Every structure is written in C-alpha cells, then in structure tokens.
Amino acid sequence: MANTETTVTTESTRNDLAWWRNEDWLAVWLGFLIIALVLVGLRPELPVLKWAKGSELLGVVFTAENIWNSIQIGISILILSTIGVALIGGNILRYIVGFPVVYALSWFSQVIAGNSTMNYWGLEYVIFALLIGLLISNTVGVPAWLSEAVKTEYYIKTGLVILGTSILFQEIIKAGALGIVQALMVVTVVWYVAFWLSKKLRVDDETSVILSTAVSICGVSAAIAACGAIQGDRKKLSYATSLVLIVAAPMIILLPWIVKAFGIPDAVGGAWIGGTLDTTGSVVAASGLISETALKIGTIVKLSQNVLIGVAAFLLAIWWSLSALT
C-alpha cells in the first residue's frame, strides 16, 4: 500500500509541471514525433517474432539479423522516450539502465506468443507479459534501479496516440456516436450504482465518491481527479486505486475469454470491455486479445469516457461543496 501512496504522490507532484510537460501531453508529443518520423521515411525493419517449429525459432527469430533489427528499434524507442522522461523530471540514468530489461521482457513475451499453438488458443503477448510481471513482482520484487523504467501509463498513452493513426475518421463517425452515447450511459449508471452499493456497505462518503468515479470512468486517473475535486484523504485514494488495479488484472484475461466463449460479436465485445474495464491500458490489452475490430471499438468507448474526467471532477466539486453547506 505504501508503494501505491508513493505513486499517487509522485503523479500528483508531476501534475504541477507546466501543462506541456505533464505525462499526458508528453505522450502526445512523443506519439506525434514517431508518426512524423515514419511519414518522412524512417521505417526500421520490424523483427520476425512468429514461429511454428523449434527450427524456425532458431533459424528465423534468433538470427543475428532479426536480433539486430530488434535492438535497433529498442535503441530508437529508448532515445525518444528518454526525452520525455527528462522533461517529466524522472531519473534519466536509472531509466536508461532499466529500459533494456523492460524491453527484453516485452520482446520475449512476444516471442512466446508468436508460436502458432499460442495463436491457435488465442494467447496473446499481453497475457505472457502480465504473467512475467506478476512473477517478478511477487518473487524477487522490482528493484529500485528498474522501477524508473516501469512506466506503464507513459508507454500506453504514447501507444494510444500512435494507435489513433490506424482508426480512420469514417470509423469514428460510424462507431463513435454510439460509443459516446454508451460511454455517457455507462459513466452515469455505473457511478450511481457503485455509490449506492458503497453506501449500503457503510463505506464513508469520501471513499465512496473516489471509488465510484474510478470504476465508472478510467480508474486511477479518475480517482485522483475525484480526490482532488473533493479534497479527499490520500490514504483513501490509495485504497481505491489499489482495488482498481487488483481487479483489472484478472479481468484482462477473463473478459476476452467470455466474449469468445459465448460468441459475442467483436464490435459488441470491444464496446463491453471499453465500458467495463477501468483503466485505458487494460482495455487496450483485453480488446486486443479479441481482434482489431474489438480493439478499435473498445478504444473509442474508453477514450469517450476519459474525456469526461474534467466534467465529472467539476460536478463533484460543486456537489461536494453544496453538501458541506447543508
């Protein structure tokens, strides 16, 4: 729990930076920079990570050329992302030291998932990355020199900007209207149901508001915004964010399995995951396990919810102030 409080405090401190230096906007700048570099022709050769037999693993994936292509991409990402870490105010030396380990673990996760048998069973790299992360954190733990490079939200936010280039404007017009309507309905209904249930369980008002906002919009970010709006207790914020993260992990695997097991259409499954999972990263991971269509729809729904953070915080501040007067 102490780690969660430290994370919340650090994130709150970084929110005091100039608007163009906070993590959200740096992810936008970094994503745009990567897109611009690709458009001008800087397109490195992507490594081959799919294989069926042991001979292909050694003769295709673990060749000198393929490994060198992977290293080149890793170095490029390291250089670009380090600029953002420096602007955020992170420890650059620790980030540079820890990044190769994080990159190598993600590379091995994709190699494992690249096996044809794993593809047949729908076991994507996200699952293996999650298992490796859980194994490390629950055995040896994450050392201090590596923790600076474990910037999940930073990587995911940048990836979402790049992902936007694959979602055509026509798709947003076609699916976005319904996605936005669903997002509004989900946020409203889930918030009130969560708050009502919290009160029935005799949870105090502050924790109920923070937790309800977290589960109805976008997890940790929404919880922090709600806590700031009502000037809530940081310890209660830590409890709420811990619950969100604990519940999200198994749902990343469980929800895609339910979608496939019950034959739910990909678009419906993506919308369901986008409106159900609390964090943007978990939505991308879970919907990506289903299909590209589910990924696009899930992302649209979740981003539609995310933009409501400011509105929700404003309304909560007014409601909390009026409640205090009465």
Percentage of the chain with pLDDT > 70? 83
What does the alpha-carbon distance between residue 130 and residue 186 come to, in Å, rounded to a whole number?
Answer: 27
Adjacent-strand bridge partners of 115? 51
77 pLDDT exceeds 80?
Answer: yes
Backbone angles phi, psi at 115, to 5 degrees: -65, 140
* pLDDT at residue 240, rounded to an integer: 79
Please name which of 300, 275, 271, 273 lies closest in space to residue 285, comparing C-alpha atoms. Answer: 273
Amino acid at site 4: T
Domain residue ranges of the chain, discontinuous segments joined by +: 1-166, 168-326
Higher pLDDT: 139 or 7? It is 139
255 pLDDT exceeds 70?
Answer: yes
Q: What number of other Cβ atoms are within 10 A of residue 235's Cβ? A: 14
Residue with tokens 């994080």: 102
What does the alpha-carbon distance between residue 227 and residue 221 come to, in Å, rounded to a whole number?
Answer: 10
* pLDDT at residue 67, rounded to an integer: 92
Tens digits of per-residue pLDDT, 278-296? 777 778 878 888 888 888 8
Higher pLDDT: 270 or 122? It is 270
* pLDDT at residue 156, rounded to an integer: 74
* pLDDT at residue 170, rounded to an integer: 53
Tens digits of per-residue pLDDT, 25-39? 888 888 888 888 888
Cβ 69 vs Cβ 32: under 8 Å: no
Adjacent-strand bridge partners of 51? 115
Distances (CA, A) of 108 to 22, 101, 121, 159, 202: 31, 11, 18, 19, 46
Our CA angle for 253, 141, 138, nearest 5°, is 45
Distances (CA, A) of 74 to 38, 41, 129, 169: 15, 18, 17, 30
Average pLDDT value for the chain: 78
Our CA angle for 215, 251, 269, nearest 5°, is 90
Tens digits of per-residue pLDDT, 160-206? 677 666 654 555 555 556 656 766 777 788 888 888 988 888 888 88
Cβ 265 vs Cβ 290: under 8 Å: no
Q: In angstroms, how far is CA 65 from the centroid of its own chain?
A: 32
* pLDDT at residue 75, rounded to an integer: 93
Backbone angles phi, psi at 51, to 5 degrees: -155, 160
Percentage of the chain with pLDDT > 90? 10
Amino acid at site 214: A
